């Protein structure tokens, strides 16, 4: 699938695999392996940014994937996010979608909505939000009818903190 299909259909919180279609090089070729890993991986869909224009520059819509955190002893030092344009030549695949009874913690990010955390139940979502204060963050239920984060302004089950 293309990045445009992911942008149009995948819900926030979905696990997305991306690939350039090339086989993984042997580990002894460290530079080739590092280049391959930049074009092949898995991440959680945390943001769908619409197309934008500033003066004479126009940028296409994009998706942002959370690929992981780097740190130790429960201290996160680096958060790895990767943004792909909907015009990307990479191939994308939805590996997993959030369960229908889970909860998203989201916040506005420009014209888009950004996923901060995906919780299994409401109690866990409330506890996470108390420990990790984010201005404008709210809790939304995940349902199987579509992406509740598509229209951030009118979801009835939102709780802003």
Sorted by where each begins, the domain ranges of the chain are 3-96, 103-160
The Cα–Cα gap between 94 and 144 comes to: 15
Residue 144's pLDDT is 64
Reference 144, options 98, 95, 105; nearest CA is 98
Q: Is the dihedral of CA 127, 130, 133, 136 positive or negative?
A: positive
Residue 7's pLDDT is 93
Identify the three-state secondary structure at position 5.
Answer: helix
The Cα–Cα gap between 82 and 59 comes to: 16
Q: How many CB atoms lie within 10 A of CB 122?
A: 15
CA contacts within 13 A on the Cβ side of 147 = 23
Residues of the chain with pLDDT under 50: 147-161
Residue 145's pLDDT is 54
Is the pTM of the predicted complex or chain greater than 0.85? no
Q: How many CB atoms lie within 10 A of CB 62?
A: 20
């Amino acid at each position: 699938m293309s990045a445009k299909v992911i942008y149009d259909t995948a819900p926030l919180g979905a696990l997305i695999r991306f690939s350039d279609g090339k086989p993984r090089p042997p580990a002894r070729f460290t530079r080739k392996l590092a280049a391959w890993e930049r074009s092949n991986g898995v991440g959680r869909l945390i943001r769908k940014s619409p197309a934008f224009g500033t003066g004479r520059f126009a940028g296409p819509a994009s998706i942002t994937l959370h690929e992981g955190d780097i740190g130790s002893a429960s201290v996160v030092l680096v958060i790895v996010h990767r943004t792909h344009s909907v015009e990307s030549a990479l191939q994308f695949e939805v590996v997993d979608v959030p369960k229908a009874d889970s909860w998203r913690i989201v916040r506005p990010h420009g014209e888009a909505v950004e996923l901060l955390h995906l919780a299994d139940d409401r109690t866990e979502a409330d506890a996470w939000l108390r420990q990790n204060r984010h201005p404008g963050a709210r809790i939304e239920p995940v349902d199987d009818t579509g992406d509740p984060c598509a229209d951030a302004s009118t979801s009835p089950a939102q709780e802003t903190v």
